Amino acid sequence: MIAVGGGLDPGTILDAYRRGMFPMHLQDGRLAWWSPVERAILPLDGLRVSRSMRQSTRRYQVTVDRDFDGVIRGCADPAREHGWITDEIVEAYAELHRLGWAHSIEVWDNEEEELVGGLYGVAIGGLFAGESMFHRSRDASKVALIHLVVMMNQGGGRLIDVQWLTDHLESLGAVVVGREEYLRRLDHALAAPGPFDRSAG
C-alpha cells in the first residue's frame, strides 16, 4: 500500500496507473492506492490454453465494449467470495469507460444470448491493466482472457497487468515480477500503441 485517501476522478486514476498504482478500498471503507512489491503479469506469449478451453471458445460469442455495465456488475456481485468492488469503484470505472479508457470483454451463451462471463480493465497505450473477471458458465472468463491476449498480440500491446497472483491466474500462465521490473515494463508499454490506444488523447 502506497497511500490512503484521495478521490476516484478519471485523471487521478489514470495518473496512478501510469505510475504503477491502482485503487482498492480497505475493509474500513477508506480508499487506498497499491503498488505490490511482487506484481503479477500475464506474458503475451505465455497463456496456457488447454484442449477443453479451446473447445469452450467455440461455444461462446465474444464481444468488446458491448455491455461494460453488465461485466463490471458481474464482477461486483456481492455474493462472490472476497468481493472488493464497491459502488464507488463501479461508478468511477463506468466514467472511465464513457471516456474511452476502461474496456470490457463480454462472453455470451450462443443459444441463450445471455452474458455468462467477461473481464474489464484500463488500457493506456500498450498497457492493459486487468481489474476483475467473472464467469457464470464454465471457462467463460478464460475465454474472455484468451480474446484479450489475441487482441493485445494483434494490436501491438505490450503488457497485461493482473495485479496479484492467484492460483487461477497462475494456471493460465501468469507470473510474478518485482516492482522495479514491472515499472520498467510499464514504461515500455506506455510508450507503445495498443488495441485500445488512447495515449495520444
Q: What is the pTM of this model?
A: 0.93
Could you tell me if residue 201 is inside a domain? Answer: no
Backbone angles phi, psi at 155, to 5 degrees: -100, 10
Q: Show the domain range for 106.
A: 38-190
Could you tell me if residue 54 is inside a domain? Answer: yes
Query: Are 172 and 42 within 8 A, CB to CB?
Result: yes
Domain with residue 169: its CATH number is 3.40.630.70
What average pLDDT does the segment 5-29 reach? 96
Number of domains in the chain: 1
Q: What is the dihedral of CA 142, 146, 149, 155, to 10 degrees?
A: -140
Could you tell me if residue 20 is inside a domain? Answer: no
Q: Over the stretch 112-152, which tens digit does the pLDDT of each residue have?
A: 789 999 999 999 999 999 999 999 999 999 999 999 999 99
Spatial CB neighbours of 49, under 8 Å, sequence gap ≥ 6: 146
Could you tell me if residue 198 is inside a domain? Answer: no
Could you tell me if residue 27 is inside a domain? Answer: no
Distance CA 107, CA 119 (A): 9
Query: Are 62 and 147 within 8 A, CB to CB?
Result: yes
Distance CA 153, CA 146 (A): 11
Closest CA to 102 of 113, 111, 92, 110: 92
Q: Over the stretch 147-189, which tens digit does the pLDDT of each residue have?
A: 999 999 999 999 999 999 999 899 999 999 999 999 999 999 9
